[in-house]
């Protein structure tokens, strides 16, 4: 059984350690949380930059050799948004110490490496390394361009931008790309200093790993940072859409993408979360869901159709791939299925299938150290941190009445269609 411990490492720095001796590897994730701000373009480049070079491992070859030298460890850096928080993540998966052939602590070496790259980026007081800055800007722009080529991801990003244009969550992708393109090494250094000084830092570790060692080392790291003052992390929750907004965009696509944004009615991320999770799953989760069985299978109006709850923002996102001529019919039937949820006309089998599937998923979240870290780190800002078994228990306690109540709080906000280019416009 996994044993959890918590520690307040320093101001705005906390550690969740999940100790278990059943795994062959350990996992450590260091998350820096900041508000979405003007630093976002630089943060995208910064995460990539710090994942490839540092002052003490200034070439890609030296950097990779160091990682591989820790018994072929896996190291990764990512940047993402969680609600209206930016998360810059540094993560490592390493072999458990008991497999070390020289009796040195692999986990301690990994923690030292993480702190070293955080403390000592490949930069001077004037800015990050110019050559690597140009390289990472190019890589980031290529990744943004790749997202445009993934029409499914592009449609979701456009829906988000249009639906939440007056909220920090509604990131303008053109401005993001322009911001990345115009970055310089000094701006990258400014973003780095802002990260150290204003981020809330959450460290999640899993395996047979020494929590005291991690606490002491990260406390020493945090205490060196001058002028540290963690920023307030808030997210705007819009509980109701006043009207439905419709958008259509043309692009060279073989299959039209219909994306619908719903305001769930949640006042915060913990507002009736478990009931909302079941409601969304019955509506558009697995192959047992209303959208899959009716819109896709029974009526053949789409190639795929599903819904997911973005709890950190109180939004339900519906994605569907359709033939353009089926737009009106597909949209009408999707909204009809939402009305069915509101009227409570779903079956007991619908409810039970969803609960069983969700419970099985949550019961399996502690099967690997990476899965454990991902599961517990996803609760970093919840009212309480609970196990997968407890999650399943709370899902299992959701009633039909709670599901109907949640469905009736849902309003349709934005409908976005990405369709093929009209040849008549040429």
Q: Is the pLDDT of residue 190 over 80?
A: yes
Q: Is the pLDDT of residue 2 over 80?
A: no
What percent of the chain clears pLDDT 90, i.e. is strictly above it? 88
Contact between 307 and 285 (Cβ < 8 Å): yes
The residue ranges of DSSP E strands in 312-402, in sequence order, are: 315-322
Q: How far apart are CA 275 and CA 403, in angstroms?
A: 6
- Reduced to 3 states (helix: H, G, I; strand: E, B; else coil), residue 4 is strand
Question: Average of pLDDT values for 264-276?
Answer: 97
Q: Is the pLDDT of residue 241 over 70?
A: yes
pLDDT, residue 424, reads 56
Enumerate the domain spans of the chain: 3-223, 245-425
Task: Write out pLDDT tens, residues 53-69.
Answer: 999 999 999 999 999 99
Class of domain 3-223: alpha beta
Task: Write out pLDDT tens, residues 333-359.
Answer: 999 999 999 999 999 999 999 999 999
Q: Is the pLDDT of residue 426 over 50?
A: no
| Residue 130 vs residues 38, 121, 144, 200: alpha-carbon distances, Å | 21, 13, 21, 28
pLDDT, residue 42, reads 98
| One fold for 3-223 and 245-425 | yes
Helix (H) or strand (E) holding 257: strand 256-263
Beta bridge partners of 206: 18, 27
Label residues 367-383 b or e (16+ Cβ within 10 Å = b): ebbbebbbbbbeebbee
Question: Average of pLDDT values for 2-28?
Answer: 90
Question: Average of pLDDT values for 217-230?
Answer: 95
Q: How far apart are CA 74 and CA 94, in angstroms?
A: 7
- The β-bridge relationship of strands 304-310 and 315-322 is antiparallel
Class of domain 245-425: alpha beta
pLDDT, residue 67, reads 96
Cα torsion through 85, 90, 93, 98, rounded to 10? -110
pLDDT, residue 423, reads 59
Q: Is the pLDDT of residue 425 over 60?
A: no
For residue 59, give the DSSP letter. S
Confidence label for 1 from pLDDT (cuts 50, 70 and 90): low
Mean predicted lDDT score pLDDT of the chain: 95
Q: Is the pLDDT of residue 252 over 50?
A: yes
Question: Average of pLDDT values for 160-176?
Answer: 97
pLDDT, residue 391, reads 94
| Residue 96 vs residues 12, 28, 118, 198, 222: alpha-carbon distances, Å | 29, 12, 23, 33, 26
Beta bridge partners of 3: 19
Contact between 61 and 149 (Cβ < 8 Å): no
| Residue 20 vs residues 17, 110, 365, 384: alpha-carbon distances, Å | 10, 18, 14, 21
């Amino acid at each position: 059984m996994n044993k959890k411990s918590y520690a307040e490492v320093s101001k705005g720095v906390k550690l969740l350690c999940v100790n278990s001796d059943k795994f062959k590897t350990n996992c450590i994730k260091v998350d820096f949380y900041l508000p979405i701000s003007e630093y976002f373009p630089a943060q995208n480049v910064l995460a990539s930059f710090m994942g490839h070079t540092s002052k003490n491992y200034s070439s890609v070859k030296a950097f990779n050799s160091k990682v591989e030298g820790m018994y072929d460890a896996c190291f990764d850096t990512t940047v993402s948004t969680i609600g209206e928080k930016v998360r810059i993540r540094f993560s490592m998966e390493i072999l458990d110490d008991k497999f070390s052939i020289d009796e040195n602590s692999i986990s301690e070496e990994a923690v030292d490496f993480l702190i070293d790259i955080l403390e000592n980026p490949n930069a001077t007081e004037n800015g990050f390394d110019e050559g690597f800055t140009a390289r990472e800007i190019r890589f980031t722009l290529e990744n943004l361009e790749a997202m445009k080529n993934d029409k499914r991801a592009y449609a979701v990003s456009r829906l988000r931008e249009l639906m939440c244009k007056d909220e920090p969550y509604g990131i303008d992708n053109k401005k993001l790309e322009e911001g990345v393109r115009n970055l310089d090494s000094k701006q990258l250094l400014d973003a780095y200093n802002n990260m150290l000084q204003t981020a809330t830092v959450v460290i999640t570790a899993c395996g047979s790993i020494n929590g005291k060692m991690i606490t002491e080392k990260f406390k020493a790291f945090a205490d060196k940072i001058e002028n540290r003052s963690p920023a307030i992390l808030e997210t705007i929750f819009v509980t109701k859409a006043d009207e439905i907004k419709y958008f259509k965009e043309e692009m060279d696509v073989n299959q039209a993408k219909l994306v619908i944004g719903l305001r769930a009615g949640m006042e915060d991320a913990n507002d009736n979360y478990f009931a909302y999770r079941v409601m969304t799953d019955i509506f558009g989760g697995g192959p047992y869901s209303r959208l899959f069985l009716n819109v896709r299978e029974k009526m053949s109006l789409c190639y795929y159709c599903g819904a997911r709850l973005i709890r950190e923002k109180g939004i339900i996102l519906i994605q569907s791939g359709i033939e353009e001529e089926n737009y009106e019919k597909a949209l009408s039937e999707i909204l009809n299925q939402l009305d069915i949820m509101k009227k409570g006309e779903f079956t007991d089998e619908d409810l039970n299938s969803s609960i069983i599937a969700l419970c099985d998923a949550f019961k399996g979240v502690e099967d690997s150290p990476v899965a454990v870290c991902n599961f517990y780190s996803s609760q970093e800002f919840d009212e309480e941190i609970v196990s997968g078994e407890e999650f399943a228990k709370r899902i299992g306690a959701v009633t039909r009445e709670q599901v109907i109540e949640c469905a009736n709080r849902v309003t349709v906000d934005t409908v976005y269609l990405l369709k093929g280019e009209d040849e008549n416009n040429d």
